Structure 1
Amino acid sequence: MPRKPTKTQKKQIVAFKVEDELARFLDALPNKSEFIRRAILAQFNMTCPLCSGTGVVEKGIHDHFQGVIESNLSRPCEKCKTTVTFPLHLEAVPAADRDRIRQFLHGGPLYCSKCYPSVPPCDDCGWHVMMEKIAEHFRKMHARS
């Protein structure tokens, strides 16, 4: 039975000042802390090649790439090579598939719903990784500089 990743306990409070408009925006969110946490973590990962991290693109860029993105929302399962369709946002995923798709959206391998449970999870991060790719996974994801 696959291990569920454990939630980390938050122990520190961090405060910072913002403009009134940003404060109103954050106050209107259902979970302000989670939004801020995700925004900060996103900055540690990869900056969007289209918006350069601003969250906004020019209309021409948007119109051009919207069709490209929509026509490229699938790829082969890492294990069986069956075509797997994925959404751009985790909120569009049924609860039963969220861990599988979250793994891919965060940079991990993509598996179909049949292969995912049969691939063992990494003891360190919980991502499902085929045994023949575990050394590569550790070099990429767990190597300390």
Structure 2
Amino acid sequence: MARRSPKTQIVAFKVEEELAQFLDKLPNKSEFIRKAIIAQFGMTCPLCTGTGVLPRGLHNHFSPVLAANRNRACDRCQTVEQLPMTLEGLDDDKLVRMEQFFHGGPFYCEKCFPEVPPCDNCGWHVPLENIAEHHRKIHSV
């Protein structure tokens, strides 16, 4: 597992009282803020639209929908697995596999993932027949 670089800079910003109270209740405020900022570079959540908070009615409506739709078929063999709702607490093997999918890469079951070779540039597991397309989409800026 790659070592994280030490954090050497402090960044401060002002927030509303309610947000400050929310952040103060978190076990690791800095880690939460880092993750939230990094998440903004990715896809905005269609439910919370990037705020990180859902109104209670939307939460109550969509929670059962999300829970009932966590299954995903392997892109190679079509074996169905249940997706985790978060990457936290996953063992290292499952973490690498799920990180690839969570970051927009193909999804492979536990059996297929090690059988598909990793890209030399990014480490994503990509079938040889799709490697040229992968390089065009991911590595061509």
Q: Would you say same fold, with TM above 0.5? A: yes
Q: Aligned residue for 1:22?
A: 20
Cα distance change on mapping 1:107 and 1:29 into 2, 3 Å: same
Q: In the TM superposition, what is the alpha-carbon distance from 1:26 to its structure 2 partner?
A: 6.0
Identity of aligned residues (%): 45
Of 50, 54, 68, 1:53 maps to 50
4+ residue runs of structure 1 moved beyond 3 angstroms? 6-12, 18-24, 26-31
Give the distance between the partners of 2:99 and 2:122, measured in 1 at CA: 13
Contact 1:84–1:111 (CA under 8 A) maintained in structure 2: no
Cα distance change on mapping 1:127 and 1:10 into 2, 3 Å: farther
Alignment: residue pair count? 139
Return the letter of the residue paired with 1:52: T
Cα distance change on mapping 1:112 and 1:10 into 2, 3 Å: same
Contact 2:23–2:29 (CA under 8 A) maintained in structure 1: no
Greater CA deviation, 7-16 or 93-102?
7-16
Give the distance between the partners of 2:52 and 2:7, measured in 1 at CA: 30
Give the distance between the partners of 1:103 and 1:52, measured in 2 at CA: 23
Cα distance change on mapping 1:30 and 1:12 into 2, 3 Å: closer
- Root-mean-square deviation (CA, aligned residues, Å) is 2.7
- Runs of 5+ consecutive residues of structure 2 not aligned to the other structure: none
Query: TM-score with structure 1 length normalisation?
Result: 0.78
Q: Aligned residue for 2:122?
A: 125
| Cα displacement string for residues 4-54 of structure 1 (whole angstroms, at most 9, x for unaligned residues) | 6x446458625233348639936953472x433322211111111111111
Give the distance between the partners of 1:11 and 1:91, measured in 2 at CA: 21
SS of alignment partner, residue 84 of structure 1: strand
| Cα displacement string for residues 61-120 of structure 1 (whole angstroms, at most 9, x for unaligned residues) | 212211111111111101111112111111253343111112112221111111111111
